[in-house]
Amino acid sequence: MFTWVVASSLVMGAPALKDKRKPTKPPAGEWVMVELVADGRSAKLSPVKHYTARFSATDYHLRFGEAKVGSYSAAWFDAGGTLQADFEYGTPKGTWKAIWKIEDDTLTICEARPGEPRPSDYTAPPESGRTRTVLRRIGD
């Protein structure tokens, strides 16, 4: 009995077995959408009016030209070197799990539909239920 109690306390307290996600800062600045691929289909983006996004620690705001499209809940994490985000779009469907990265002035986000596993790469092939969004920084 003593061995079982000691072993279980070691497992429960083991740092490697706990959730490695730690809150992290969101991608700062204003971003313009340059590419959107959903289930393998690319969306046509307007060369005159652009979708722009501004992120904060708890939400993000999306605009199309001067029009506000919406504000959505967001949470940002570092999971042992993999950047993750959880988005809520105000629907009862649930959390959209995402990964994200910044390379120079380019932000790439790949998200899965609610109920689907978090993406492990930045692809959105047909019938995957995934969306890849590429944005370019336009301001701070």
- Tell me, what's the pLDDT at 18? 54
- Tell me, what's the pLDDT at 99? 98
- Tell me, what's the pLDDT at 10? 37
- Tell me, what's the pLDDT at 47? 64
- Tell me, what's the pLDDT at 80? 95
| CATH class, 20-139 region | mainly beta
Lowest model confidence (mean pLDDT) among 12-16, 36-40, 56-60, 120-124: 12-16
Bridge partners (DSSP) listed for residue 108:
101, 134
Q: What CA–CA distance (Å, rounded) separates 111 from 106?
A: 16
pLDDT above 70 covers what percent of the chain? 84
Q: What CA–CA distance (Å, rounded) separates 40 from 55?
A: 26
Q: What is this structure's pTM?
A: 0.83
- pLDDT tens-digit series, residues 24-54: 999 988 999 999 999 999 987 776 678 999 9
Closest CA relative to residue 85, chosen from 69, 74, 70, 101: 74
Give residue limits of the domains in the chain. 20-139
Confidence of residue 7 (pLDDT cuts 50, 70, 90): very low
- pLDDT tens-digit series, residues 69-107: 999 999 999 999 999 999 998 877 889 999 999 999 999
- Tell me, what's the pLDDT at 9? 40
What's the Cα-to-Cα distance from 100 to each of 11, 45, 59, 73, 87, rounded to whole Å?
Answer: 31, 21, 15, 16, 12
